[in-house]
Structure 1
Amino acid sequence: MDNPKKTLHLFEGFGVEMEYMIVERNTLQVLPITDKLIYDEVGEYLSDVEFGDIAWSNELVLHVVELKTQGPVKTLAQLHQKFQEHVQKINRMLEKYNGMLLPTGAHPLMDPYAETKLWPHEHNAVYEAYNRIFDCRGHGWSNLQSTHLNLPFYDDAEFEKLHAAIRVLLPIMPALSASTPLLDGQLTGMADSRIEVYRQNQQKLPSITGKVVPEAVFSAKDYKQQILHKMYQEIAPHDPEETLQEEFLNSRGAIARFERNTIEIRLLDIQECPLADLAVVQAIVQVLQALIDERWTSLQNLKVWHEDELSSLLLEVVQKGQEAVITNQAYLRLYGYNRSGSCTVGELWKYLIQEAVNLQGQPEVSAALNVIFSCGNLSRRISEAVGPAPSAEKIREVYLQLADCLRKGCVFLPENPC
């Protein structure tokens, strides 16, 4: 989400970004041609191409293209339709290369050490700096596609509320969004393999990612001192030209962007189509609204949670998805979920959807969200479709179905692919 013309208050605008991989249509071989795609549209190798409400941009690697709202939009309702139009446009443009867009948060068969090519054009100094310091060939750099959600805040008081709510909800978000059960042609045993590799890709400089769940800081001044300045100091010996000493260096699951007064949630795996992404995003937004409104507990109770405790829950969800078990009664009380004993994250989300999410007038979005609860998140549906010991041929078969879901804009159901 680019700089808004005016500073927005909480939930007055939304920015959504979706990353897709470009692959060969029959084999799913990675196609590093994002620059050709953009050149074909505008006659230049630009980093951003604007189309009114939606823009395209490059990413670190040449096989990924990002679609994003051009500035904040006032509502998320029907936004999936605009993204879907651009998915279809890009797919038509890629036909001459025998290419297409592939959804999900990671390519199941890619060898990142052999197939990674970095963006070589505009702004590539940033990418070259990352590559020199970290070697961007691993899965955690070149094989992870996500959906980013940008939410605005007006001042420190609104930042405090928004950051507090996002921090406590962050650990259970992947239960809805996980879409990456496979890497290197094998089931990893994790619901969200993308987050697992993402959280480890900058361990050389641990302050950059932290515990993925950000620290309990609730003002711009404290955030800059305790998070941003620590990162800049740690990377400085490796980055003498200060190319990376900007807010984008922060790789936590949610990052503050003070230059545009937003918090960007970066933890979400991309789904099989924009409809499914907007179902996940709208559920998260409406639960965050309820937390900020103090529907179930006070702001103070949200603020006291340490990142170590929240990160521990996140890692359980990364591993087990909706089947992860919450034993901490205090965490459940944050959502007014009073029950004796433990519950699964899936059970908590079902309760939250009933309590706080209203998708009236959006039957398609509501149906997509219902699939996530009745049939499992996309990671689980993919795992069931490929079977316990999948061959490369079976994996290609399932991911070709997923690419078809993206092309048609429909939700993936293994027993009844759209």
Structure 2
Amino acid sequence: MTRLCKGVEVEMYTGTFQGQIEGLSHRIVKDLNGFVREPDSRNVEYTTAPLSCYDRLLCALVRPRQRLRSYLQQIGDYTIVPGSTLSLGDSKKFYRSDPINPYHSYIENSYGTDVVTASIHINIGISDPELLMQACRLVRVEAPLYLALSASSPFLDGRVTGYHSTRWQMFPQTPENVPFFESHNHFIKWTEEQLKLKTMQNVRHLWTSVRPNGHNRPYNLNRLELRICDLIADPITLLSVIALLECRLLQLMDDPTLDPLNSSQLSSDSLVEITHHNEMAAAKRSLEAQLYHWKDGSEITATRWIEQIYQSVAPFAQKKGFSCFLSPVKKILRNGNLAQQWLKKYQLSSDIPSIIAEEIQAVAQQEKMLEDKLCDALLVA
């Protein structure tokens, strides 16, 4: 059993050092290779190549951000703004990045700024389509745990929303009803039906917590894509979440009974129902959320569930030599995710702009340190 290939899609906001988000993607994609636009110009995205080595993945995450930071400083007093929602606004207006793109028109008219969020999509390579379907089933029932670890959007338009992940609470999951796919053939037939019904505009228009992915969806698939995570600005924290996901998939490959359709006491429809409940509960309270376990429907806190999984998968990380990248998960459980940290600061000062500005500086300094100490050394090696 080898390490799995991992690639990451990173959506980010750009704006001022005071946390005001500004639409700059039309300039960025024109001048910088490796960045692509989203429908709203306040987002920009880059994607890492699929890599099995965590050291190299770390640098693949950090280097584009450093190039982007340098560019943003050249064109004005701009930087990368953390968080997964428009923390300081403006969620009332959609700023089109490509006014003549018909799909962007559909997005704006159908969803408005509910989709103007920043997030992390984690792709894990799995070439066997039936194993991929198994993996998607397991990750889907446990996706709320990854949301709980990553939540970073407690603010919107300069106010506290009451959610730790405002992004996932408002993001339009599409189509509305998505079953657990029993096989690759089931996924193909279901997708073809959705396209005929126009509940999906194209094969990319499957906006769920996790989906099978590949260059010719739904027919040729080669990876699992976890889409539920808020933006994880800290690269070390992000790698720990990726490591937890990889370990869980390695564990599934070692023990196929982890497939929920084979080992749960609940029906497929019940699994869909409790998974939706768990996602919303995690969006509300993240690590503090009361969830229902997919095996038997018993109640368990997100933190306790993650602790149990961590203990069960740690031997896989040890065996594969990346325990050091998995272990920061314990720090998240101990210190809280970014949303929880921000809310604690808010209780002391109620000054959201200062909280965002402080985080901007902290993330920039950490990325510079990582590049100087690790990535430059790796490049020489």
**Which category of TM-score, normalised to the shorter sequence, fits these structures?**
0.7 to 0.9
* 2:92 partner SS: helix
| Correspondence for 1:248 among 173, 196, 204 | 204
Aligned positions of 1:347-386 closer than 5 A = 347-357=304-314, 365-366=325-326, 368-386=328-346
Q: Tell me how far 1:367 sits from its aligned partner.
A: 5.9
Contact 1:287 1:357 survives alignment (8 Å): no
Q: Does 1:218 align with 2:182?
A: yes
Partners of 1:296 and 1:77 lie apart in 2 by: 32
RMSD: 2.9
* 1:268 partner SS: coil
| Correspondence for 2:233 among 272, 295, 304 | 272
Aligned residue number for residue 240 of structure 1 = none
1:164–1:11 CA distance, 2 compared to 1 (3 A): farther
In structure 2, what residue type is equivalent to 1:301? S
* 1:248 partner SS: coil
| Correspondence for 2:144 among 154, 158, 171 | 171
Contact 1:186 1:389 survives alignment (8 Å): no
In structure 2, what residue type is equivalent to 1:16? V
Aligned residue number for residue 372 of structure 2 = none
Q: Tell me how far 1:147 sits from its aligned partner.
A: 0.4
Q: Tell me how far 1:356 sits from its aligned partner.
A: 0.8
Q: Does 1:141 align with 2:102?
A: no
In structure 1, what residue type is equivalent to 2:337? N
Aligned positions of 1:14-413 closer than 5 A = 14-25=6-17, 27-41=18-32, 49=33, 55-70=34-49, 72-96=50-74, 97-114=76-93, 116-120=94-98, 124-132=101-109, 134-136=110-112, 138=113, 140-142=114-116, 144-199=117-172, 208-210=174-176, 214-226=178-190, 228-235=191-198, 245-258=201-214, 259=216, 260-294=221-255, 297=258, 300-301=262-263, 304-305=267-268, 306-326=271-291, 328=293, 330-331=295-296, 342-357=299-314, 365-366=325-326, 368-387=328-347, 390=350, 394-409=351-366
Q: Tell me how far 1:59 sits from its aligned partner.
A: 1.5
1:10–1:233 CA distance, 2 compared to 1 (3 A): farther
Q: Tell me how far 1:135 sits from its aligned partner.
A: 4.8
The two structures have a TM-score, normalised by structure 2, of: 0.83
In structure 2, what residue type is equivalent to 1:127? H
1:99–1:348 CA distance, 2 compared to 1 (3 A): same
Q: Tell me how far 1:12 sits from its aligned partner.
A: 3.6
Partners of 2:26 and 2:258 lie apart in 1 by: 49
Partners of 1:99 and 1:219 lie apart in 2 by: 47
Where do 5+ consecutive residues of structure 1 fail to align?
1-8, 42-48, 50-54, 201-207, 237-243, 333-340, 411-418
In structure 1, what residue type is equivalent to 2:309? L
* 1:249 partner SS: coil
1:75–1:209 CA distance, 2 compared to 1 (3 A): farther
Between Structure 1 and Structure 2, the one with more helix by share is 2
Contact 1:11 1:152 survives alignment (8 Å): no
Moved more, 372-381 or 301-310: 301-310
* 1:151 partner SS: strand
1:90–1:328 CA distance, 2 compared to 1 (3 A): closer
1:128–1:10 CA distance, 2 compared to 1 (3 A): farther
Partners of 1:159 and 1:295 lie apart in 2 by: 12
Partners of 2:295 and 2:68 lie apart in 1 by: 47
Q: Tell me how far 1:11 sits from its aligned partner.
A: 6.0
Q: Tell me how far 1:78 sits from its aligned partner.
A: 4.3
Partners of 1:14 and 1:329 lie apart in 2 by: 26
* 1:246 partner SS: coil
Aligned positions of 1:6-21 closer than 5 A = 12-21=4-13
Contact 1:22 1:100 survives alignment (8 Å): yes
Partners of 1:367 and 1:65 lie apart in 2 by: 30
Where do 5+ consecutive residues of structure 2 fail to align?
368-381
Partners of 2:146 and 2:154 lie apart in 1 by: 16
Partners of 1:408 and 1:318 lie apart in 2 by: 29
Partners of 1:75 and 1:349 lie apart in 2 by: 24
The two structures have a TM-score, normalised by structure 1, of: 0.76
Partners of 2:166 and 2:306 lie apart in 1 by: 21
Moved more, 157-166 or 178-187: 157-166
Aligned residue number for residue 4 of structure 1 = none
* 1:32 partner SS: coil
Q: Tell me how far 1:374 sits from its aligned partner.
A: 0.7
Q: Tell me how far 1:327 sits from its aligned partner.
A: 5.3
Contact 1:13 1:152 survives alignment (8 Å): yes
Identity, % of aligned positions:
17
Aligned residue number for residue 379 of structure 2 = none
